[in-house]
């Protein structure tokens, strides 16, 4: 059910573009109990002037390439689960050696379970 938007620079090596996608999905499976088969991602590559990131915010400095991860998902995960998700994404992305953990920006948007259709016009999570 998550729909993940990943935005990064067009200069990102393709192996790392794909690596971010895998890392985010792995984190959703591990911490949000997303099914392995529940993977839907839209990646956007951008010119240098299209990604604007504060050089420093709340004590975290941003100096390298940045990646934005915006996840629309079902509501109801606990704060602890959300914290675990952020930590897992930042660790799994940075472990690949291209983006620093400091430069992984994450935002969740929660949308009701009836607000999703995964093909054929069905609404598999809508209550009868």
Counting contacts by CB under 8 A, is residue 98 touching a copy of itself? no
Output the smallest distance, CB 61 to a copy of itself, in A: 8
Counting contacts by CB under 8 A, is residue 18 touching a copy of itself? yes
Write down the residue that tokens 């990604």 correspond to. 51
Counting contacts by CB under 8 A, is residue 96 touching a copy of itself? no
Write down the residue that tokens 């400095």 correspond to. 61
Give, in order, the Cα–Cα distances in Å from 75 to each of 3, 23, 59, 88, 108.
Answer: 13, 21, 29, 19, 10
Q: Please state the length of the chain.
A: 128
- Please identify, using beta-carbon distances, which residue of 88 and 98 lies nearer to a copy of itself: 88
Task: Give the per-residue contact string, 105-124, with a copy of itself (x = CB under 8 A; - = no).
Answer: xxxxxxxx-xxxxxxxxxxx
């Amino acid at each position: 059910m998550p729909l993940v938007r990943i935005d990064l620079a067009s200069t990102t090596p393709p192996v790392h573009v794909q690596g971010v996608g895998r890392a985010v999905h792995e984190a959703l499976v591990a911490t949000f109990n997303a099914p392995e088969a529940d993977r839907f991602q839209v990646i956007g590559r951008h010119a240098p002037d299209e990604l604007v990131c504060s050089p420093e915010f709340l004590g975290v400095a941003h100096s390298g390439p940045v990646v934005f991860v915006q996840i629309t998902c079902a509501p109801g995960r606990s704060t602890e689960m959300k914290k675990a998700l952020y930590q897992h994404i930042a660790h799994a992305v940075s472990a690949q050696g291209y983006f620093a953990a400091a430069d992984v920006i994450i935002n969740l948007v929660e949308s009701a379970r009836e607000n999703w259709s995964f093909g054929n016009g069905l609404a598999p999570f809508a209550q009868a």
